Amino acid sequence: MKILVTGSAGFIGYHLCNSLLNDGYDVLGIDNINDYYNKNLKLERLQILKKYNNFNFKKIDISNRRHVAKIFKNFKPNKVINLAAQSGVRFSIENPYSYI
């Protein structure tokens, strides 16, 4: 089974991907690797996940509809788990229109 996990470099996304990979699922992780908190931590998590043969990663922002459509066309996931999020409250207060 193919599973698409958004937010795969975040804390919850990383642990979910790790669990799915250990259970034998094919996982495509996507994340925009923003710099709201330490990018190196996200990249380290991805390096661990990339050791699995059944894991692939694409650096994209889910707000880019064209890139997301391409992911669905090419990967054809059976399931999608959307964990993508903008961490922290401050950004949403300072940039409310980025959520519309």
Domain ranges of the chain: 2-99
Q: pTM for the full model?
A: 0.89
- What is the residue-averaged pLDDT of the chain? 93
Region 11-33: what's the mean pLDDT? 98
Split at pLDDT 50, 70, 90, the class of 96 is confident
2-99, superfamily in CATH?
A: NAD(P)-binding Rossmann-like Domain (3.40.50.720)
CA 27 to chain centre: 10
* 16, pLDDT greater than 90: yes
Region 10-31: what's the mean pLDDT? 98
pLDDT of residue 15: 98
Q: Spell out the alpha helix ranges (H) of 1-100.
A: 11-22, 39-49, 65-75, 90-94
- Any residues with CB less than 8 A from the CB of 71 and at least 6 apart, and which? 4, 28, 30, 58, 60
